[in-house]
A and B are shown apart, each in its own frame.
Chain A
Amino acid sequence: MKIFSEGLLDMAAIRNDFPILSRKVRDGKGLIYLDNAATTLKPRAVLDAVYQHYANGASNIHRGVHFLSEEATRQYENARETVRRFINARDTSEVIFTSGTTSAINLVAKSWGEKNLKAGDEVLITHMEHHANIVPWQMLREVTGCILKVAPINDRGELIMEELEALITPRTKLISVVYTSNSLGTINPVRDIIDFAKKHGAKVLLDAAQTVAHEKVDVQKLDCDFLVFSGHKLFATSGVGVLYGKREILEAMPPLMGGGDMIKSVTFEKTTYAELPARLEAGTPAIGGAIGLGAAIEYIEKIGFAAISVQENDLLTYATKLISDLPSVRIIGTAAKKAAILSFVVEDIHPHDMGTLLDAEGVAVRGGHHCTQPLMSRFKIPATTRASFSFYNTRGDADALVLAVRKAIEVFS
């Protein structure tokens, strides 16, 4: 990995790390991949690590005393240590492997939530949450009778912080917020939210699904109580994700699932549970997935968030300017602090039609509500077209996007 001075990336080398970027799609067009918020592409380092696990390792963990099982166990636990270092958790016992962001939030809602919330207690979320950070709390409300409150946003897609603070009461047990909005790109002032929460004795969960691939996250500096993310949005494979929780909180959480791997001893009369993190990881986990996640983190640590930010900020500024210059286009999400996610609507062209027409040019974007229907309602639109960038994208990709949007506007004119 060569990194040029001034923090610029060697784009040819970077793009060469992602085999899929040389793939041809619809009608033999080169792939312009701008759907990174849905899932990121996988670098060879990750593909190799996963391949090696299944080709040469393939053993279960924590069970066999044989060579391959011990090796797999070591690699799986090494991946946990890599995640710990990546988010700066105090200890590997604070890193629970889950199947993704959704399962991590559900684990907190069902285990911590059902234990700690009573009727009338409050969970505070925001208007820009992904359904994964709405539905589990509604399910918790069904079970416990707790109250779900929603902090409003302004027309730029930013949280209205005074109103958020005003919604916090002595009964607020948890503030669960998206760190970076997958639909708007807004990067929320999570430090301030955590400060508010502390003042009122509430816990904070950060949905960092769209954050960890783009900026450094330090859970000790943030002092959040929970942080969740998915491997597949961090250049690893689907099926693996992470729940970070403060040790004392995780320790008091009853396991959601019982079974193998999470026990110390089982008799028909009584079972004693294993220590963290195994206690919350019943059954055989995504071993290859975790190993791949470790490889993905090592890969992006080599590139560094400094260079990644320079590239992504440039792409956001460049693409935003080009898209805003088009006729009858409205950008949804114009926060002062934004990740490289560009959501827009074009007058009289439904995002689904836009998506199909862009696809004809080899440009992969997402057209839809992005699992944020309440947010779409807030902006009085059914859906947006969303281009989401990663560091392997180039200004050329943004040019291709804009050209394809222009063509679509012509088709509809």
Chain B
Amino acid sequence: MSTQDLYQQVIIEHHKKPRNFRKIEPATHQAEGFNPLCGDHLWVYLNISASGLIDDISFLGDGCAISKASASMMTQSLKGKTVTEARAIFVDFHKMVTGQLNPDDDTGGSERILARLKVFSGIWKFPARVKCAALGWHTMTGALANETTISTE
């Protein structure tokens, strides 16, 4: 993956027009995420039903294109999923961005990686940026675990 591939149009587009970029009030779960290295800072909000379904998920905040696009696509991917599914997708996403899972292989749980998230598959070649792609996800799992402040350091 070259740098040009990293900054695909879809990432720029999500950065400019992030989806679900709003606050859910009141939210059943929420957390604030920091990346002290670059000052990325975002909030993730979730509404989870009694049966464990993610009825709504959103985020707000400021950061680089990678962190913002990643959080934006995360909200799209997780809406309507169960909490258990969300955690499993996070595990796969995390493996993918750290280079331990190739979404084009048939092994592993790669079919759970929704197509749109594959744009982040080569980011492990930019170690300094993996944390940017993972920030929204870490914040989401933190919110699920009722932690209120998540730092990627």
Contact = CB atoms under 8 A, between A and B. Distances in A.
B26 interface: no
Given A348-B16, A350-B65, A352-B64, A382 B39 contact: yes
A348 B15 CA distance: 9
Contact of B65 (A376, A383, A412): A412
A411 B12 contact: yes
Interface stretch (B1-9, B52-60, B78-86): B1-9
B66 A360 contact: no
Contacts, number: 56
A368 B153 CA distance: 15
B38 A382 contact: yes
Contacts of A348: 16
Contact of A357 (B3, B38, B62): B3
A359 B3 contact: yes
Contacts of B145: none
Contacts of B66: 352-353
Given A352-B66, A352-B129, A353-B64, A360 B2 contact: yes
A412 B38 contact: no
Nearest to B12: A412
A367 interface: yes
Interface in A289-322: none
Interface of A: 26-27, 348-353, 356-357, 359-360, 367-369, 373, 376, 382-383, 411-412
Ordered nearest first, which 9 A-B pairs have the shortest CB separation?
A: A382-B39, A360-B3, A350-B64, A352-B64, A352-B38, A353-B65, A353-B64, A383-B39, A411-B7
A356 B129 contact: yes
Given A350-B63, A412-B12, A356 B39 contact: no
Nearest to A354: B64
Q: Which of B7, B62, B65 has the most CB of A within 10 A?
A: B65
B38 A368 contact: yes
Given A27-B2, A348-B16, A360-B2, A353 B7 contact: yes
A349 B66 CA distance: 11
A35 to B, nearest CB: 13
A362 to B, nearest CB: 11
Interface string B20-47: 0000000000000000011111000000
Interface size class, chain B: 20 to 34
A351 B4 contact: no
A367 B38 contact: yes
A262 B50 CA distance: 67
A96 B36 CA distance: 33
B6 A356 contact: yes
Nearest to B64: A350
A382 B41 contact: yes
A132 to B, nearest CB: 16
28 contacts: A348-B16, A349-B65, A350-B40, A350-B64, A351-B38, A352-B38, A352-B64, A352-B66, A352-B128, A352-B129, A353-B64, A353-B65, A356-B7, A356-B126, A356-B129, A357-B7, A360-B2, A367-B38, A368-B39, A369-B38, A373-B39, A382-B38, A382-B40, A382-B41, A382-B63, A411-B7, A412-B7, A412-B65
A295 B123 CA distance: 41
A146 B3 CA distance: 49
B97 interface: no
A108 B134 CA distance: 40
A223 B16 CA distance: 53
B39 A369 contact: yes
B2 to A, nearest CB: 7
A301 to B, nearest CB: 36
A229 B51 CA distance: 60
Interface string B63-75: 1111000000000
Contacts of A411: 4, 7, 12
B48 interface: no
Nearest to A381: B39
A137 to B, nearest CB: 20
Given A352-B38, A352-B129, 9 more contacts: A27-B2, A348-B16, A351-B38, A352-B66, A353-B64, A360-B3, A360-B4, A368-B37, A383-B39
Contacts of A349: 65
Contacts of A373: 39
Contacts of B41: 382
B132 interface: yes
Nearest to B68: A350
B35 to A, nearest CB: 9
